[in-house]
Amino acid sequence: MAGHNFDYDPALLKYNSVIQSRHKYFRWTGRTARITFAYMFLFPAFIGVLAYRYEVCNTRAGYRNWY
């Protein structure tokens, strides 16, 4: 059968090992705290405000025009 003597790219192997061990080198810094806060609180709040503003489900006051 074919494919047994396939050589992997060393750069891809190193990249894979970096990705798999990323949790070992994580540190809480000001930058990572801001990014985490933005993705956990600001982004969902922004989506909620947009949904409330444009009434995505149209259930709060019935059907309204978009204009």
Domain membership of residue 14 (yes or no) is no
Report the number of distinct structural domains present in the chain. 1
Domain membership of residue 34 (yes or no) is yes
Residue range(s) defining the domain that contains residue 42: 29-67
Domain membership of residue 1 (yes or no) is no
Which pLDDT tens digit goes with each residue over 22-52? 999 999 999 999 999 999 999 999 999 888 8
Beta-carbon contacts of 58 under 8 Å, excluding residues fewer than 6 positions away, are 64
Domain membership of residue 36 (yes or no) is yes
Domain membership of residue 9 (yes or no) is no
Q: What is the pLDDT of residue 8?
A: 87
Q: What is the pLDDT of residue 54?
A: 77
Provide the b/e sequence for 3-41 (b: ≥16 CB within 10 Å): eeeeeeeeeeeeeeeeeeeeeeeeeeeeeeeeeeeeeee
Domain membership of residue 58 (yes or no) is yes
Is there a contact between 55 and 64 (Cβ–Cβ < 8 Å)?
A: yes
Q: Could you tell me the pTM of the whole model?
A: 0.53
Domain membership of residue 47 (yes or no) is yes
